Amino acid sequence: MQIRLGFDIAYDCPTPTPMMLMLNVRPEKEDDLVSPQIIGASTGSPMHAFQDGFGNVCTRIYAPAGPIAFTADFVIENSGVPDPVPVDAVQHRVEDLPDDVLVYLLGSRYCDTQHLIDVAWSLFGQSQPGWRRVADIVDYAHRRITFGYHNARSTRTGAEAHSEQVGVCRDYAHLAITLCRCMNIPARYCTGYLGDIGVDPTPGPMDFSAWFEAYLDGRWWTFDARHNKPRIGRIPMAYGRDAVDTAIATTYGPAVLTKFDVISHVHQPVHAVS
């Protein structure tokens, strides 16, 4: 299956403003690209890319004063298979975890484990370790939070999402990650494309999505506390400790978002007729 991906995101900068974008698909997905993934800037300003400490592709640009738009339109190959459900995946003892995974047990800006550790152990201390425990956490976060774009707030932490019981996809992810870490299960935040493929269309405009991965049985597995079901066509852009590490745009100065369009849908190739 092929999926068409892209975006048209615009800002208005009152003054020249350095920016860092995180809009590329993850390097592991680059071999699946059917057409080039090229980020265009309406101003023609020079850009250069680098990989951060989490392996995400970041793009730096010095945006001039005034309007600037970033665009991309490309196609990627996808298996068309829903997220795997590893019911037999085991939980590792902390002492057996790889060194590079330990950072995903630590509290972070939005995953404030210190506020939920007692809650986590009271809720999940008797659950079966491994996939079942993570699934129980996902079920709980899914039920605990009521979704609504009008409830979005960029400062909300996992513990605050738990107490306020409202949020958007990032809040579901932050709460589930926080509870997993409290239970000594490494969990990392993911952002990327997730179109309405194989499901009924979601009301409202298309957006990027947030989910998380838990480290079980020697590898990372996908979990989604907002949708709470395996999905088709999930294309990751960035991994990190929480939303801080995966922001699609970081501006080092004032910049007003004026347009935000995202596309992610099944691509139907056009065959030439001779």
pLDDT > 90 in the chain, percent? 95
> CB pairs under 8 A, 24+ apart, for 154-157?
156/110, 157/109, 157/110, 157/111, 157/112, 157/115
Q: Is the pLDDT of residue 14 over 80?
A: yes
CA gap 136, 153 in Å, rounded: 26
- φ/ψ (deg, to 5) at 142: -60, -40
> Which residues contact residue 270 at a Cβ distance below 8 angstroms, ignoring those fewer than 6 apart?
none
Q: Is the pLDDT of residue 272 over 60?
A: no
pLDDT at 205: 77
Q: Residue 193 — pLDDT band, cuts 50, 70, 90?
A: very high
> Which residues contact residue 190 at a Cβ distance below 8 angstroms, ignoring those fewer than 6 apart?
173, 210, 211, 212, 213, 222, 236, 238, 239, 246
Quick one: average pLDDT of 72-99? 97
Asked if 261 contacts 204 with a C-beta cutoff of 8 angstroms, the reply is: no
pLDDT > 70 in the chain, percent? 98
Which candidate, 5, 26, 11, 25, places its Cα nearest to that of 61? 11
pLDDT at 195: 95
pLDDT at 164: 98
Asked if 47 contacts 39 with a C-beta cutoff of 8 angstroms, the reply is: yes
Q: pLDDT, tens digit, for every residue of 102-119?
A: 999 999 999 999 999 999
Q: Is the pLDDT of residue 270 over 80?
A: no
Q: Is the pLDDT of residue 200 over 90?
A: no
pLDDT at 204: 75
Cβ atoms within 10 Å of 175's Cβ, excluding its own? 31
- φ/ψ (deg, to 5) at 13: -105, 115
pLDDT at 269: 73
Q: pLDDT, tens digit, for every residue of 201-233?
A: 877 778 999 999 999 999 999 999 999 999 999
Q: Is the pLDDT of residue 65 over 80?
A: yes
pLDDT at 274: 54
Domains and CATH numbers, the chain: 2-79+248-266 (2.60.40.2250), 94-245 (3.10.620.30)
